[in-house]
Structure 1
């Protein structure tokens, strides 16, 4: 039986494994440390550079195209991963902050 990743604790445990960290690194190298969604849109968003003595800012995430909660067998499959910047990753998961929701209808109320 495949591992389950239904709870936050199960997901946290998975994302702390060396298997995940190694595969994540492979995805970043394969994608040249660039956001693949920005690239599709003709933009460039690359990873931040580590400055000595400062904490490196997080610019990129490695995203599961098919989420591990629903597709646990694809959790450690490189072809199921793509590098995304934080903004694109949040959009993929409908976590858009500060934006106002688009009205469904543009009609007058009467």
Structure 2
């Protein structure tokens, strides 16, 4: 399976153009919130089948979904692991 350089891909002209196209297609609305009867402005375009697993679907419209930042974080909980939280250790209280 061909590996993909994520930084290069997400900075590419073709991705930026596709991202704008998908946001326009979805009226700049988070499709996840919309499906739950809410409204949020879409800030991200999410790959339904993850880019690392299916690079062949990187630019396929049916694999792309406009979502807000909150929904994108829910869809990618692995990205929420904040190293600063892990590094903060509460020292044992000494009385």
Aligned to 1:4: 3
Q: Mapping of 1:1-110 within 5 angstroms? A: 3-5=2-4, 10-46=5-41, 60-94=43-77, 95=80
Q: Which runs of 4+ in 1 moved over 4 A?
A: none
SS at match of 1:62: strand
Q: Which protein is richer in helix relative to its size?
A: 2
SS at match of 2:65: strand
Root mean square deviation of aligned Cα: 1.8
* In structure 2, distance between residues paired with 1:40 and 1:26: 20
Aligned to 1:106: none
Unaligned runs of 5+ in 2: 83-95
Unaligned runs of 5+ in 1: 48-59, 98-110
* In structure 1, distance between residues paired with 2:3 and 2:60: 15
* In structure 2, distance between residues paired with 1:4 and 1:20: 17
- Given that residues 27 and 83 in structure 1 are in contact (C-alpha distance below 8 angstroms), is that contact kept between their aligned partners in structure 2? yes
Q: TM-score with structure 1 length normalisation?
A: 0.67
SS at match of 1:82: strand
